[in-house]
A and B are shown apart, each in its own frame.
Chain A
Amino acid sequence: MNIKDLEEKAWQIRLELIKMFSFGKIHHLGGSLSSVDILTALYHYKMNYSAQNMNDPERDRFIMSKGHSVPTQYVVLAMLGIIPMDELKTIKRLGTRLQGHPDILKTPGLEAPTGSLAQGLSYANGIALAARLDHQNFNIFLVLGDGELQEGQVWEAAMTTSHYSLKNVCVIVDKNKYQSQGNVNTMMRIDPLEEKFEAFGWKAVTVDGHDIKQICDALDLVGDNNKPIAIIANTIKGKGISFIEDTYKYHNASITKEEYIRAEQEVVKKIESIRSEINA
């Protein structure tokens, strides 16, 4: 897939996300939308992962460490044919396989139980340590939230990754600047992030988290470096829906029917514009 195709894919994921969220129901809108381009680059460019090889021990793995953004992963898995598309609307309903936060026993394609924050990187390290003992070679990618980095366990795990030279572990920080109740650096400052990861023995790079080419280039550093890679992806919370963007208010919220129609129109318009660029 070339970059334009990936961009179109990303906006189609946004469209399916909006449909899944629907209106009048509370969902983690902001952080799901901000992570879309990152997951697009991972699943459709970088990772060795498909419906066909999803049980292969040597497949690449993706962990949504900030488990509240798992809706984006559900949509991606559905578009890969791992979850039926019409199952997406069952999210968070009683009896669904699509729980509010990742449940590896219920949903095919999930790799780690997360939700209570900070536990994804440690879990990824465990996968990498086991793979090393078994002489297996694959990559493990994680998306962490910027608010999540306030949790101490993240930094315990970051130490472990570099201490054991787990260079096949790659962290992408979805740095959308907002957590549940406000601006991240106002609530509890996490910057400077590159310096923090570097101090913990990682190589850190910063990209525009909505520029798929930049994300792909950064992902290509994985395995081609003597340190684990942390990609700081500058994103916009709620990216793609004008009235949801750049605020903490839609971290976990619902939209009205009118807003839903407007959101869908905005995304469809964007898809049409990318298509016309591709066809030009």
Chain B
Amino acid sequence: MKNHKSTRDSYGETLKELAKKDKNVVALDCDLGRSTRSFRITEADPERFIEMGIAEQDMISTSAGMASMGKIVFANSFAVFLTGRAFDQIRQQVSLPSANVKLCASSAGLTQGPDGATHQSVLDVSLMRTLPNMIVLSPADGNQAEQVVSAAYEYKGPVYLRLSRYETGDFLPENLSFKIGKAQVLKEGKDVMLASYGPILKNVLGASVILENWGISTGVVNFHTIKPIDVETVKSLGKSYSLIVSIEEHSIIGGLGTALSEVLAEMNSEKTIASLKRIGVQDRFGESGTADELLKKFKLDADGIAQTIKELV
């Protein structure tokens, strides 16, 4: 098993391998190819890396045009620019015609780090989740990113891939099977179910251990697919846990917490017993700092998460 530092590293490696086996795989980037790792496609074929300059809107529409010709297009930038700057192009030319474009959104979340609020993407899941035809995926570690990127390649249609530069190393159990739309219960518990996605799942697992020591039994579930949300799993959790806590490196508005609330709120007749608490970025922007400093400040490190949950139960 390879040891990936981050989901973006795994993405670059997987993209290169996909490009080797399929000549229709192409990558476009906006002057960030070495950071997003999309540049690694050049190891398979330099012709299939297309530099678009600093022009995200142009890149998305160009990607849609290439997809109309049968190309499987991986369009890259930082999550904040890809979803914010080019939202209208994504809406009209990717989402509406269900174009086969993979939106590879790098450096997502607070863990983008020192560049601060302008560069930290904490609204992207909300923006992408609202688009018809869009699949929203966020792998937790490098091994999972391999599976997620391959699944996005296999899937014919638009996919939003939320990728990160945060270096957690691989931490999920080996040989965990992956399927788009099927949440992974990593751990069962008695009192609380912790629902999360992306690299901070490592901190959630850490918090679960701390809480265990404090006598609070928690389960952990990985919603690597935020859209379509795994309704069956959410309903099942709603019947067996009295408290579900969503934990995300994203605004509490529009992300996983909201997706869970939508399912739970409509469960009335099915007798949910769960209440929901959303942990994440509390309707504010980020700021400069190292990834770890920021996670600590926003109480998204293992200690912070454990402390918040202790206060809830």
Decide yes or no whether B98 CB sits under 8 A from chain A.
yes
Decide: B66 and A119 in contact? CB cutoff 8 A: no
Count, chain B residues at interface, CB 8 A? 30
Given A130-B71, A153-B57, A160-B58, 4 more contacts at CB 8 Å? A103-B96, A125-B65, A130-B65, A156-B53
| Contact A159 B53, CB 8 Å, known A104-B97, A112-B68, A113-B96 | yes
Residues of chain A touching chain B, judged by Cβ–Cβ distance below 8 Å, are: 103-105, 111-116, 118-119, 122-131, 133-134, 152-153, 156-157, 159-160, 163
**8 sample A-B contacts, Cβ–Cβ < 8 Å, listed by A number:** A105-B98, A127-B69, A131-B69, A153-B57, A156-B58, A157-B61, A160-B52, A160-B62
Decide: A127 and B93 in contact? CB cutoff 8 A: no
Decide yes or no whether B108 CB sits under 8 A from chain A.
no
Cβ-neighbour of B68 out of A127, A153, A163 (below 8 A): A127
State how many angstroms separate the Cβ of A67 from the closest Cβ of chain B: 9
Decide yes or no whether B88 CB sits under 8 A from chain A.
yes
Decide: A116 and B62 in contact? CB cutoff 8 A: no
Whole-angstrom distance between the alpha carbons of A135 and B64 in the complex? 19
Q: Which residue of B lies closest to A154 (CB)?
A: B58
State how many angstroms separate the Cβ of B69 from the closest Cβ of chain A: 3
State how many angstroms separate the Cβ of B49 from the closest Cβ of chain A: 11
* 51-96 of chain B: CB within 8 A of chain A: 52-53, 55, 57-71, 88-89, 91-93, 96
Decide yes or no whether B50 CB sits under 8 A from chain A.
yes
Q: Which residue of A lies closest to B51 (CB)?
A: A163
CB-defined contacts of A131 to chain B, threshold 8 Å: 69
CB-defined contacts of A104 to chain B, threshold 8 Å: 68, 97
Decide yes or no whether B154 CB sits under 8 A from chain A.
no
Residues of chain B touching chain A, judged by Cβ–Cβ distance below 8 Å, are: 26, 47-48, 50, 52-53, 55, 57-71, 88-89, 91-93, 96-98
CB-defined contacts of B53 to chain A, threshold 8 Å: 156, 159-160, 163
Give chain A's interface secondary structure class. Answer: helix
Residue in A111, A124, A131, A157 whose Cβ sees the most chain B Cβ within 10 Å: A157
| Contact A123 B93, CB 8 Å, known A116-B88, A130-B65 | yes
CB-defined contacts of A126 to chain B, threshold 8 Å: 61-69
Whole-angstrom distance between the alpha carbons of A129 and B66 in the complex? 7
CB-defined contacts of B66 to chain A, threshold 8 Å: 126-127, 129-130
CB-defined contacts of A157 to chain B, threshold 8 Å: 58, 61-62
Cβ-neighbour of B65 out of A118, A124, A152, A153 (below 8 A): A124
Whole-angstrom distance between the alpha carbons of A125 and B51 in the complex? 13
Q: Which residue of A lies closest to B93 (CB)?
A: A113
Whole-angstrom distance between the alpha carbons of A126 and B63 in the complex? 6
Decide: B92 and A133 in contact? CB cutoff 8 A: no
Residue in B57, B62, B89 whose Cβ sees the most chain A Cβ within 10 Å: B62
Residue in A125, A131, A152 whose Cβ sees the most chain B Cβ within 10 Å: A125
Whole-angstrom distance between the alpha carbons of A129 and B64 in the complex? 11
CB-defined contacts of A152 to chain B, threshold 8 Å: 57
Whole-angstrom distance between the alpha carbons of A123 and B99 in the complex? 12
Whole-angstrom distance between the alpha carbons of A112 and B96 in the complex? 11
